[in-house]
């Protein structure tokens, strides 16, 4: 009996379900469906609006929570890119200097050892105005005391004064006591001795009184004595001092390069 009741309920449900499908298909239920949709639509729209607002609020809170981490990440990226760009610019500068040095040496048929400046220190016993540069090349690289050191464009900046196996000290041409045999590029090729003056300029002494020199004249190495070739530019005459009762006249020579920004140099091997 219970089974018959259960089967009867199932049969009734199936018949009702089939009738609903049939009436829906023929459109008989459309007025009722439209009525129900009209009732449910405002509720669904409000639920959707609430759900979207909740989702946006959650995303805003999540973004605010992530903001410090994202800001830190972006800051780190900017710092990394800044370092990379600085390194790239430094590589470009070094490559330009190497090309300039190679061109100068090739044009003048000179042999040289390229070196990097690794330190700057005061020369012992030479006073505060005197400065040495320390290079990362030494005796094992074929360097010797007295050899000329030039910057990328060929201007002589000084000479080697001390050596170790792997390093060398050079005196700058502006340092007192760093003497170079010099000549002025004028019709008489006036000779003299260039010596550093207070670490800022260069003095040229022992210039014959009878020779005419002028501000703007270029001063080069004379090639007399030692292992320094002739024709390396020392600087330009800035001022001439000529006293009538003096045996010699002298001049102040202005270097053509900034000795404070030297990073790459060449040691001329005769």
Q: What secondary structure, in 3-state letters, does 24-38 show?
A: HHHCCCHHHHHHHHH
Question: Comparing 77-91, 129-143, 206-220, which segment has the lowest mean pLDDT?
Answer: 77-91
Give the per-residue pLDDT at 173.
93
Average pLDDT over residues 236-246: 86
**Under DSSP, is residue 231 helix (H, G, I), strand (E, B) or coil?**
coil
Give the per-residue pLDDT at 23.
54
Average pLDDT over residues 227-240: 92
Average pLDDT over residues 152-178: 92
Give the per-residue pLDDT at 69.
72
Average pLDDT over residues 16-30: 60
Report the alpha-carbon distance of residue 61 to residue 87 in Å, rounded. 40
Contact (Cβ atoms closer than 8 angstroms) between residue 177 and residue 170: no
Give the per-residue pLDDT at 124.
42
Top-confidence residue, 74 or 217: 217
> Does residue 63 surpass a pLDDT of 70?
no
pTM score over 0.85: no
Contact (Cβ atoms closer than 8 angstroms) between residue 265 and residue 136: no
Give the per-residue pLDDT at 55.
59
Task: Kindly state the percentage of the chain with pLDDT values over 90.
Answer: 33
Top-confidence residue, 89 or 120: 120
Only one residue has tokens 């091997």, namely 269
Mean pLDDT over the full length of the chain: 78
> Does residue 81 surpass a pLDDT of 50?
yes
| 29-31-33 Cα angle (round to 5) | 65
Report the alpha-carbon distance of residue 240 to residue 219 in Å, rounded. 13
Give the per-residue pLDDT at 125.
44
Average pLDDT over residues 87-116: 71
């Amino acid at each position: 009996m219970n089974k018959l009741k259960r089967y009867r309920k199932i049969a009734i449900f199936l018949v009702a379900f089939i009738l609903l499908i049939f009436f829906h298909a023929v459109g008989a239920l459309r007025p009722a469906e439209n009525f129900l949709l009209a009732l449910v639509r405002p509720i669904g729209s409000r639920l959707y609006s609430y759900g979207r607002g909740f989702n946006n609020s959650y995303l805003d809170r999540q973004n605010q929570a992530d903001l410090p981490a994202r800001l830190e990440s972006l800051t780190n990226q900017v710092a990394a890119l800044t370092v990379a760009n600085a390194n790239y610019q430094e590589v470009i500068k070094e490559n330009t200097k190497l090309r300039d040095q190679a061109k100068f040496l090739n044009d003048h048929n000179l042999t040289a050892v390229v070196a990097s400046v690794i330190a700057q220190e005061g020369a012992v016993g030479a006073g505060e105005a005197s400065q040495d540069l320390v290079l990362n090349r030494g005796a094992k690289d074929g360097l010797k005391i007295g050899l000329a050191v030039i910057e990328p464009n060929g201007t002589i900046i000084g000479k080697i004064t001390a050596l170790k196996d792997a390093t060398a000290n050079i005196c700058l041409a502006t340092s007192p006591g760093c003497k170079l045999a010099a000549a002025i590029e004028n019709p008489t090729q006036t000779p003299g001795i260039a010596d550093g003056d207070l670490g800022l300029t260069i003095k040229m002494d022992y210039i014959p009184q009878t020779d005419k020199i002028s501000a703007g004249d270029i001063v080069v190495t004379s090639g007399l004595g030692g292992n320094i070739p002739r024709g390396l530019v020392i600087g330009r005459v800035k001022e001439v001092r000529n006293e009538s009762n003096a045996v010699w006249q002298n001049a102040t020579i202005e270097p053509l390069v900034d000795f404070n920004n030297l990073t790459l140099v060449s040691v001329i091997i005769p």
